[in-house]
């Protein structure tokens, strides 16, 4: 049974309305947030077929500005930030020199010398300090802006139809991973066509004092309030990594099957030597998607075994509400990564068969 959240937890600006809406509040990395309202399956289905709204105000925001902003970000991350244009967002890895993840982040380019960066909640202080460390010797100003923004994610096939009447930003012309600035319900906002669900949708950044009113309007317009539980099942079906589960300071982007964000030829960056070597010699282990062959759900931390030997670990696992089967991600040795390969997961001491399958597990129709 889940523990009751302690009084010392951090609260987002939407805490009151979440309780009013019947959110079941839990401790999520030090934040008091709803794990669910009506139920994970119900909320998950709403996002896949209609539209749901999530409070993601716990996410952190950092800005990097100045003549050296680009070169500093190029040094700190593995994707090629120079490929960004104004009004575009990019998924990227903030790396240590070991090529382990400090965090996975979204970088929005306002101007060639002005970037808005979204980081994971539990990492925001660490990331801010790391950015400041990376900025040494560069003419770039790093600021932690997390307290200035509430963030709402409106996700699902009906997201555009729901949000457009509330904003002067032209959503019909906004492509995936683009953003615009304008007004939402009359107040300044950043609106991006991004999300963590594998569905079409938007993320809206507004000043905290307006967030409750906007959330009410979004719900009144037909969005189902959704919690962390559905956020997790949705992102896992879309095979989007969760920091602390699938990636952390011990895993590299190549191990995490995120080769598409590794640009070895962009110039020097933290971790490049390690990634070059991994690229040339192959990784020791790689993250794969699996589904269970035997009955059971393999969850975070369960060992992958070969006889008596532990050969890997499950990093995420759940019942997929869309596919109606047990799915998950695991680090396994290179010889177990081919589609159709089978391996055993220890579920409460019992060897349970799983099979490597193509990912993402779920892909929306275009």
**Does 4 sit near other proteins (CB under 8 A)?**
yes
Residue 280 sits in the site that holds other proteins (CB under 8 A): no
DSSP 3-state assignment of 69? Answer: helix
- Residue whose C-alpha is closest to residue 269's, from 94, 71, 100, 74: 74
Minimum Å gap between C-beta 18 and other proteins is: 16
Binding mask 212-241 for other proteins (x = CB under 8 A): -----------------x--xx--------
Asked if residue 7 binds other proteins (CB under 8 A), the reply is: no
The correct pick among 40, 73, 256, 304 for binding other proteins (CB under 8 A) is: 40
Output phi, psi for 136, to 5 deg: -60, 130
Report the b/e string of 180-195 with b at 16+ CB within 10 A. beeebbeeebbbbbbb
CB closer to other proteins out of 34 and 195: 34
- Minimum distance, C-beta of residue 299 to other proteins, in the bound complex (Å): 7
Q: Which among 206, 204, 207 has a CA at the least distance from the CA of 192?
A: 204
Q: Minimum distance between the CB of residue 132 and other proteins, rounded to whole angstroms? A: 36
**41 counts as binding other proteins under rule CB under 8 A:** yes
52 is an interface residue for other proteins by CB under 8 A: no
Angle at CA 327, nearest 5°, toward 322 and 332? 155
x/- contact string, 317-336, with other proteins (CB under 8 A)? -xx-x----x----------
Closest to other proteins by CB, 24 or 213: 24
Dist. CA 95–CA 137, nearest whole Å: 18
Residues numbered 334-353 forming contacts with other proteins, rule: CB under 8 A: 348
Contacting other proteins (CB under 8 A), which of 16, 20, 22, 39?
Answer: 39
Q: Does 121 bind other proteins (CB under 8 A)?
A: no
Cβ atoms of 43 and 237 closer than 8 Å: no
Degrees to nearest 5, angle at CA 90 with 276 and 123 = 80
CA distance 153 to 201: 7
Query: Closest distance between other proteins and the C-beta of residue 320, in Å?
Result: 9
Name residue 327's beta-bridge partners: 291, 318
Nearer to other proteins (CB atom), residue 208 or residue 296 = 296
Pairing of strands 224-226, 52-55: parallel
Give CA–CA dist 129/142, Å, rounded.
9
Tokens coding 237:
């079906």
List 297, 327, 332, 354, residue binding other proteins (CB under 8 A): 297
SS3 24: strand
Least gap, CB of 352 to other proteins (angstroms): 11
Judged by the rule CB under 8 A, the positions of this chain that interact with other proteins are 1-2, 4, 35-36, 39-41, 229, 232-233, 295-297, 299, 318-319, 321, 326, 348
């Amino acid at each position: 049974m889940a523990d009751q959240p302690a009084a010392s937890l951090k609260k987002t600006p939407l805490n009151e309305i979440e309780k009013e809406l019947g959110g079941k509040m839990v401790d999520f990395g030090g934040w008091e947030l709803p794990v669910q309202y009506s139920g994970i399956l119900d909320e998950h289905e709403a996002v896949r077929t209609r539209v749901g709204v999530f409070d993601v105000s716990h996410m952190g925001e950092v800005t990097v500005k100045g003549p050296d902003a680009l070169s500093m970000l190029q040094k700190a991350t593995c994707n090629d930030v120079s490929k960004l244009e104004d009004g575009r967002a990019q998924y990227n890895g903030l790396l240590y020199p070991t090529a382990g993840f400090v965090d996975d982040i979204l970088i929005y380019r306002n101007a060639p010398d002005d970037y808005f960066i979204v980081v994971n909640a539990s990492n925001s202080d660490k990331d801010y300090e790391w950015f400041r460390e990376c900025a040494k010797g560069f003419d770039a100003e790093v600021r932690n802006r997390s307290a200035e923004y509430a963030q709402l994610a409106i996700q699902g096939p009906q997201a555009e139809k729901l949000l457009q009447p509330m904003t002067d930003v032209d959503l019909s012309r906004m492509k995936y991973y683009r953003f615009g600035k304008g007004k939402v319900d009359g107040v300044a906002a950043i609106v991006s066509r991004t999300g963590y669900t594998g569905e079409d949708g938007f993320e809206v950044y507004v000043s905290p004092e307006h967030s409750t009113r906007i959330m009410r309007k979004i719900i009144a317009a037909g969005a189902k309030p959704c919690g962390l539980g559905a956020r997790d099942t949705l992102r896992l079906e879309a095979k989007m990594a969760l920091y602390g589960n699938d990636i952390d300071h011990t895993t590299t982007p190549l191990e995490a099957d995120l080769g598409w964000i590794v640009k070895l030829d962009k110039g020097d960056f933290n971790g490049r030597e390690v990634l070059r070597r991994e690229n040339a010699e192959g990784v020791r282990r790689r993250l794969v998607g699996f589904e269970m062959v035997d009955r059971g759900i393999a969850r975070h931390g369960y060992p992958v075994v070969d006889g008596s030997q532990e050969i890997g670990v499950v990093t995420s696992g759940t019942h997929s509400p869309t596919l109606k089967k047990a799915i998950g991600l695991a680090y396994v040795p290179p010889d177990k990564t081919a589609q159709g390969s089978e391996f055993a997961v220890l579920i409460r001491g019992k060897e349970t068969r799983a099979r490597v399958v193509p990912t993402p597990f779920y892909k929306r129709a275009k």
